[in-house]
């Protein structure tokens, strides 16, 4: 895994801006601690600069970037982050077509594939990736992102070109860019939805999943190469379960390829346990597994059972070398951790310990492994959330997860709430998202509603979760792979009728049936437990204390967004925070820290 950045300016000689290019590249050092490289097209007038930081995973010695191929009509240069899991097959096909290779890296396969097929190579790749190609033959930049959006890629159009990078911080490092936040950026943060192509930072955009963005002197063009398809599912239940098992075995085998230590993240839930069991079967030697635990488990409505014992049982069953990472309340509530999370995410997500615990877990894992498998996305693919099943019982006219996690605008000032107008915004975004759903002819009623719900989860909720995983893992240089994001599995399960997806009356019925023979019975029968968060009263006390720091400064910029009286009421409370107050307080603290850290201009009336 890596990080990259770049600058295309058709009117500047960027050789004279080398210090700026170096500074932009340096912001990606956490994503790529192993190597660095910068390329400026000095022979072509210096109008393009590419910077790369490398986390070496495959072909440690031979995969340096930016990677260049010279042609009679100009250089073609690639900066790439991610993994292409079918690179071996593609390399064989490209060799048959006359291409010669000097490394064994997947990076060179992607570069040669671009030379052979141009931007259409994206349709041939199986993996998680984001990359940019400077095509000197046509003096254009081509940016590509994987189908589900596992790997990030941001860009900011300029008067004479574009700035781009794996994270916004690379773009913000350029002195041409003013750090500013507008209404739309704040709306997504407050509302728990994501706008495809949107960005918290004003003026920036994100290359959408399954999309190619081309920049030339004629302007910027966007082309979609993949979207969730609608296809009639004709397989019976037995065949469907068998196909899912076959897909999972192939996916896991592909994603175990690595020249550095690899492990599996194991919560003891169905999703991660399935991957662990499948990986353990084909891993030479003993697979390492890692589980996370908090000090005292307190059951709640979303988490009826602790992960710890289930993870231990799976580890023993699969014969893994198991490690437990224990986090305490003091560490999770530490303001320094909140600042690290913010700087990693470049966005005040207000996720609190749901973000901080991941960062600490990934850092601990990185001491032993460079690559980890994660069960992320199984809930979106197989229908694991309880609100998904609520939607099956009754129609809703909004995003299903908002029934449990409502927007957090009640902590904002009346003026900010009026300007954001979240009810209208959420309704419009919901309608826009539904308009993109591909449906079968004649599909109606429950099946139509559940297809729409699957699409919303995979295209609106999932990007938030994948972004969290990417930022919290890459800040410590850990590559986290997500087998459930393989587009073949996503397409297949997305089109299975809801009645078959829930054939046993439970969540994730198909996944459970596909892996039941390789898991302990207790894990197969376990009811879904959501990602753990600390419920200890000490965490609530620490948050309230942090809020008082802002309340002691009435002139703080935070109170241009956050209602002082509402924050005072939350801070003066006692006992564990209820979910609405906790979410609002976490958001307020992140907003305050963002204002202090980035000093952004607020373009909010």
List residues with catalytic annotation: 2
Q: How far apart are CA 458 and CA 378, in angstroms?
A: 10
Give the bridge partners for 3, in sequence order.
Answer: 53
Are the CB atoms for 235 and 202 separated by under 8 Å?
Answer: no
Are the CB atoms for 583 and 591 separated by under 8 Å?
Answer: no
544 sits in the region (left: phi over 0; alpha: psi -120 to 50; else beta) called alpha
66 prior amide bond cis, ω within 30: yes
Length of the chain: 605
Residue 409 vs residues 67, 187, 304, 405, 556: alpha-carbon distances, Å:
46, 9, 29, 12, 19
Which tokens is 517 given?
A: 């023979």
Residue 251 vs residues 92, 255, 463, 515: alpha-carbon distances, Å:
19, 6, 21, 14
Residue from 467, 484, 490, 491 nearest 150 by CA: 467
Kindly report the three-state secondary structure assignment for every residue of 64-115. Answer: CCCEEEEECCEEEEEEEEEEECCHHHHHHHHHHCCCCCCCCCHHHHHHHHHH
Residue from 561, 584, 557 nearest 571 by CA: 584
- Within 10 A of 356 (CB to CB), how many other CB atoms are there? 21
- Within 10 A of 508 (CB to CB), how many other CB atoms are there? 24
Q: How far apart are CA 549 and CA 552, in angstroms?
A: 5
DSSP, collapsed to helix, strand or coil, labels residue 427 as helix
Residue from 124, 130, 129, 112 nearest 76 by CA: 112
Residue from 339, 344, 337 nearest 475 by CA: 344
Residue from 190, 218, 186, 215 nearest 202 by CA: 186
Q: How far apart are CA 426 and CA 399, in angstroms?
A: 8
Q: How far apart are CA 475 and CA 363, in angstroms?
A: 8
Are the CB atoms for 169 and 200 separated by under 8 Å?
Answer: no
Using only the alpha carbons of the chain, give its radius of gyration: 24
Helix (H) or strand (E) holding 547: helix 537-551
Are the CB atoms for 40 and 14 separated by under 8 Å?
Answer: yes
DSSP state at residue 287: P
Residue 488 vs residues 101, 228, 244, 261, 432: alpha-carbon distances, Å:
28, 11, 10, 26, 25
Rounded-to-5 percentages of helix, strand, coil across the chain: 45, 20, 35
Give the bridge partners for 39, in sequence order.
Answer: 50
Q: Collect all residues with Cβ–Cβ distance below 8 Å to 444 and sequence separation of at least 6.
A: none
What's the gap between Cα 47 and its chain centre? 31
């Amino acid at each position: 895994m890596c990080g990259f950045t770049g600058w295309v300016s058709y009117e500047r000689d960027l050789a004279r801006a080398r210090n700026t290019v170096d500074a932009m590249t340096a912001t990606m050092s956490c994503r790529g601690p192993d190597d660095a490289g910068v390329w400026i097209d000095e022979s072509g007038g210096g109008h393009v600069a590419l910077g790369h930081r490398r986390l070496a995973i495959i072909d440690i010695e031979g995969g340096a970037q930016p990677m260049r191929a010279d042609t009679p009509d100009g250089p073609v240069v690639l900066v790439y982050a991610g993994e292409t899991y079918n690179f071996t097959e593609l390399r064989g096909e490209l060799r048959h077509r006359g291409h010669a290779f000097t490394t064994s890296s997947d990076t060179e396969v992607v570069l040669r594939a671009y030379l052979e097929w141009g931007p259409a190579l994206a349709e041939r790749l199986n993996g998680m990736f984001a990359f940019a190609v400077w095509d000197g033959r046509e003096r254009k930049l081509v940016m590509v992102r994987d189908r589900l959006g596992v790997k990030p890629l941001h860009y900011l159009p300029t008067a004479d070109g574009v700035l781009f990078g794996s994270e916004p911080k690379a773009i913000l490092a350029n002195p041409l860019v003013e750090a500013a936040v507008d209404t739309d950026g704040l709306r997504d943060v407050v509302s728990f939805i994501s706008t495809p192509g949107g960005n918290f930072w004003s003026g920036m955009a994100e290359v959408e999943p399954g999309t190619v963005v081309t920049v030339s002197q004629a302007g910027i063009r966007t082309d979609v190469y993949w979207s969730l398809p609608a296809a009639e599912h004709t397989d019976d239940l037995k065949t469907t379960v068998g196909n899912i098992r076959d897909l999972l075995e192939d996916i896991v085998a592909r994603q175990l390829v690595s020249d550095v230590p690899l492990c599996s993240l194991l919560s003891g839930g169905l999703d991660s346990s399935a991957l662990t069991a499948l990986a353990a079967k084909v891993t030479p030697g003993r697979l390492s597994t890692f589980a996370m635990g908090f000090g005292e488990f307190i059951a709640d409505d979303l988490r009826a059972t602790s992960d710890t014992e289930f993870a231990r049982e799976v580890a023993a069953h699969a014969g893994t070398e198991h490690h437990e990472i224990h986090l305490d309340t003091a560490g999770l509530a530490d303001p320094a951790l909140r600042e690290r999370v913010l700087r990693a995410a470049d966005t005040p997500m207000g996720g609190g310990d749901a973000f901080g615990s991941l960062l600490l877990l990934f850092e601990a894992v990185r001491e032993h492994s460079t690559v980890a498998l994660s069960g992320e996305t199984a809930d979106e693919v197989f229908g694991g959330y309880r609100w998904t099943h609520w939607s099956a019982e009754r129609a809703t006219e909004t995003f299903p997860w908002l029934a449990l996690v409502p927007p957090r605008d009640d902590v904002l000032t009346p003026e900010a709430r009026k300007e954001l107008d979240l009810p209208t915004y959420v309704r419009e975004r919901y309608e826009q998202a539904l308009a993109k759903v591909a449906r079968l002819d004649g599909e109606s009623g429950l099946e139509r509603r559940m297809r729409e719900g699957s699409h919303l989860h995979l295209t609106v909720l999932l990007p938030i979760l994948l972004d969290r995983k990417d930022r919290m893992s890459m800040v410590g240089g850990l590559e986290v792979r997500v087998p459930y994001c393989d587009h073949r599995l996503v397409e297949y399960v997305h089109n299975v009728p809801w009645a078959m997806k829930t054939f046993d009356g439970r969540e994730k019925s198909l996944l459970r049936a596909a892996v039941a023979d390789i898991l302990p019975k207790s894990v197969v029968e376990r009811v879904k437990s959501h990602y753990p968060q600390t419920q200890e009263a000490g965490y609530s006390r620490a948050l309230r204390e942090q809020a008082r720091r802002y309340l002691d400064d009435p002139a703080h910029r935070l109170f241009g967004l956050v209602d002082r009286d509402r924050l005072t009421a939350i801070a003066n409370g006692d006992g564990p925070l209820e979910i609405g107050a906790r979410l609002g307080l976490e958001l307020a603290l992140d907003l305050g820290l963002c204002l202090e850290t980035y000093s952004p201009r607020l373009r909010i009336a």
